[in-house]
A and B are shown apart, each in its own frame.
Chain A
C-alpha cells in the first residue's frame, strides 16, 4: 500500500504547493498575508465545476482544459479587483490592517459565491472518471491524480523560470527583498504588486479548479487548504519558493501517512511537527533569517 500512500502524498502536496506558492508570492512581494486566498481557491473550484457540468461533453481533455482555464481566469480577475480597489488603498497602513482587510474579503467572497452559484454542491467528476485508472506496481491508481501532479510540476517549473529569467520576475524578487530600495531605484512597484496579486490569485484558482473533479465544490471549500498552506508557508519559510516545495511535501506526506496510520490524531500531529520545526528554526526550513518577521 505504500505506493498508493506515496502517490497520495504527492498529489496532496501538489495541491498545497499551488495554494501556498500563490500565498508566498503575495506575501513576499506585497507583505500581505492574504486570507482571501481561500475564497479565491473556492472561486476557481466553483467556476471550473460550473463549466464542466455546463459543457456536457464526454471529452476529458476538453473538460479539463476549459475547467482549468475558467478557474484561473476568474480567480485572476477577482484578484485584480481586490488588489486594485481594496488592498492598494491600504499600502501605507500597518500590516495588521491588510490582514484584517483580506479577512473581510474572505467573508464577502464566500457569500458572493453563494449568490452566484447558490448554496448547493456541484459534482463535476466527469474528467476524473473520463481519464480512467492505471496500474502502478500492482496497484490501480486514478490517472487524474497523476495529471494533477504533472500540471503542478509544470506550473512550478514555469514560475521558477519566470522568477529567475524574466525581467518581471527579477523585479518581483527585488521588491520582495527590499521594497524601499526597489521603489528608490524606480521600479514600478504598484504595477508589479498588482501583477503579483493577480498571479497568486490565479494559482489559487488553478488549485481550486484542479481539485474539483475529485471532490464536490461546496461552500467553505477553501478554508482547509488555506489553513494548511499557512503551515506550509510557516514551516517552509516566508516568501520562499523552495520553502513552499519542502513545506508542501512535508505536510502532504504527514497528512497522507497520518490518515493511514493514526487517523485520530493526523491533524494535531501535523501541527505538532510544525511547532517543533518552529521552535528549532523559527524562520522556517528555507527561511532567509530575521527580515519580514
Chain B
C-alpha cells in the first residue's frame, strides 16, 4: 500500500483544518463541510471496498439511516434533540440497519454482493418513500438546528451555525473517525480483512472466520457511513428518501473511486473533490451527469487507483530516481 506518512504531517493537517474557516468564503466552507461529512462515509465505505474487497452499491442506506435518525428525533422527540444524544443514536441505528442488511449480504461476494446491497438499500428507500405519515414521504423532513450540551442555537441562522461551532464539531468527529479507522485497518483485525480480500480460501485456512469478519467489517462500515449521514443532515438542513436510493450510493462509490480505494486517504480526497466537482459541473452545465459519468468512465479505464493512487505511484517513480 501507500508509504507511511509521519504523524507530524497529520497534526499539521489537523491544525490547517481548524484554520479553514478563516480563509475561505461561506459558500466554499459549506461545500467543504459537505465534503468532510462525505469523507467520513467514504472512510467507512472503503473499509469494505479497499480493505475487504466487497463493492457495496447500497451504502446510501446507512447514510440515510444516520440522517433519518436525526430527522425522526427532531420530529418526534424534540426534548432530546441535542447533538450529544442524536449522534450516538444515529450511530446505533445505522449499526442496526447495517447488521440486518449485512447478515444477508455477506453470504455473497462480488457482483451478487453488489446487487444485494443495492436491493436492500432500495427496501429502505421504498419504506422512507411510502410511509408518508411517519417520514414525510418524498417531501422529506426539515432538520432544525440542534442544541449542544444544553446550549441552544435557537434564533441563529444556519450559515452562522455552520460557520461557527458546527465546523469545529465536524472537524473533531472527522479527526476522531480518521484515527479510529486508521487504528482498525492497522490492527490484527484489519490485517485479517485484507487477507480475506487477497485470498479468501487461504484466509479461511489460517483460521480467519471469513463470513463473520466480513459482517464485522460491514457493520463498522455502516456505522461510519451513518455518522457521515447524521453529520451531513445538519449541513443540508433537509433529508429526503433519495439518500437511500442506489443512485446516491453510486455517488458514494464515485467519490471513493475518484480519490482511490487503494490508499487510506484516497476516499477523503475523493469526497471533498467530488463535492466541488459536482456543484461546479451543475452550475456550469445542465448536463452535469454527462460530466460525472464521463469522468467516471475515464477514471475506471485509465486511473483505476484514483487520484491518490496515481499520485502515490508517480511519487514512487520519481523518488528512487532522485535518491540514486
Q: Which positions in A face B, CB cutoff 8 Å? A: 27, 31, 33, 86, 89-90, 93, 95-97, 99-101, 103-112, 114-115, 223, 227, 230-231, 233-234, 238, 264-268, 271-272, 274-275, 278-279, 282, 293
B293 touches A104 (CB 8 A): yes
Q: A107-B250, A111-B287 are in contact. List 12 more A-B contacts (CB 8 A).
A: A90-B300, A95-B111, A96-B110, A103-B250, A227-B118, A234-B112, A234-B115, A268-B126, A271-B119, A271-B123, A274-B119, A275-B123
With contact pairs A100-B253, A114-B287, A271-B119 given, residues A33 and B114 touching in the complex (Cβ less than 8 Å): yes
Q: Determine which residue in B57, B127, B286, B289 has the highest number of CB atoms from chain A within 10 A of its CB, and name it.
A: B289
A264 touches B112 (CB 8 A): no
A2 to B257, CA, bound (A): 49
B130 touches A264 (CB 8 A): yes
A275 touches B293 (CB 8 A): no
A264 touches B131 (CB 8 A): yes
Q: Which of B130, B250, B253 contacts A268, CB < 8 Å?
A: B130
Q: How far is the CB of A269 from chain B (nearest CB, A)?
A: 9
Say yes or no for B275: interface residue by CB 8 A criterion.
no
A107 to B304, CA, bound (A): 18
Can you give 15 contacting A-B residue pairs, CB < 8 Å? A96-B49, A100-B300, A101-B301, A106-B293, A112-B290, A115-B287, A115-B290, A230-B115, A230-B118, A230-B119, A233-B115, A264-B131, A271-B122, A278-B107, A279-B104
A275 to B101, CA, bound (A): 10
B123: A residues at CB distance < 8 A? 267-268, 271-272, 275
A113 to B112, CA, bound (A): 29
B288: A residues at CB distance < 8 A? 111
Q: How far is the CB of A220 from chain B (nearest CB, A)?
A: 9
Q: How far is the CB of A286 from chain B (nearest CB, A)?
A: 15
B119 touches A101 (CB 8 A): no
B55: A residues at CB distance < 8 A? 96, 99-100
A267 to B300, CA, bound (A): 33
Q: Residue of A at shortest CB range from B101?
A: A275
Q: How far is the CB of B275 from chain A (nearest CB, A)?
A: 17
A100 to B131, CA, bound (A): 32
A233 to B108, CA, bound (A): 14
Q: Which of B57, B104, B296 contacts A104, CB < 8 Å?
A: B296
5 residue pairs, one from A and one from B, having the closest CB atoms: A107-B293, A104-B296, A267-B126, A108-B293, A111-B290
B111 touches A107 (CB 8 A): no
B107 touches A103 (CB 8 A): no
A162 to B108, CA, bound (A): 31
A197 to B130, CA, bound (A): 35
Q: Residue of A at shortest CB range from B133?
A: A264
Secondary structure dominating the interface of B: helix
A275: B residues at CB distance < 8 A? 104, 120, 123
A286 to B56, CA, bound (A): 25
B126: A residues at CB distance < 8 A? 267-268, 271
A234 to B116, CA, bound (A): 8
Say yes or no for B246: interface residue by CB 8 A criterion.
yes
A282 to B304, CA, bound (A): 31
Within 8 A of A (CB), among B205-260: 246-247, 250, 253, 257
Say yes or no for B72: interface residue by CB 8 A criterion.
no
A279: B residues at CB distance < 8 A? 104
A223 to B122, CA, bound (A): 12
A89 to B302, CA, bound (A): 11
Say yes or no for B292: interface residue by CB 8 A criterion.
yes
Say yes or no for B297: interface residue by CB 8 A criterion.
yes
A268 to B301, CA, bound (A): 36
With contact pairs A230-B115, A271-B123 given, residues A101 and B297 touching in the complex (Cβ less than 8 Å): yes
B118: A residues at CB distance < 8 A? 227, 230
A33 to B115, CA, bound (A): 9
Q: How far is the CB of A282 from chain B (nearest CB, A)?
A: 5
Q: How far is the CB of B80 from chain A (nearest CB, A)?
A: 28
Q: How far is the CB of B208 from chain A (nearest CB, A)?
A: 19
Q: Which of A33, A95, A231, A293 contacts B119, CB < 8 Å?
A: A231
B116: A residues at CB distance < 8 A? 234, 278
Say yes or no for B320: interface residue by CB 8 A criterion.
no
B 247-278 binary contact with A (CB < 8 Å = 1; else 0): 10010010001000000000000000000000
Q: Which of B110, B289, B296 contacts A111, CB < 8 Å?
A: B289
Q: How far is the CB of A266 from chain B (nearest CB, A)?
A: 8
B289: A residues at CB distance < 8 A? 107-108, 110-111
Q: Which of B115, B286, B287, B304 contacts A97, CB < 8 Å?
A: B304
A89 touches B301 (CB 8 A): yes
Say yes or no for B294: interface residue by CB 8 A criterion.
yes
A267 touches B104 (CB 8 A): no
B112 touches A265 (CB 8 A): no
B127: A residues at CB distance < 8 A? 265, 268
A143 to B136, CA, bound (A): 38
A117 to B126, CA, bound (A): 30
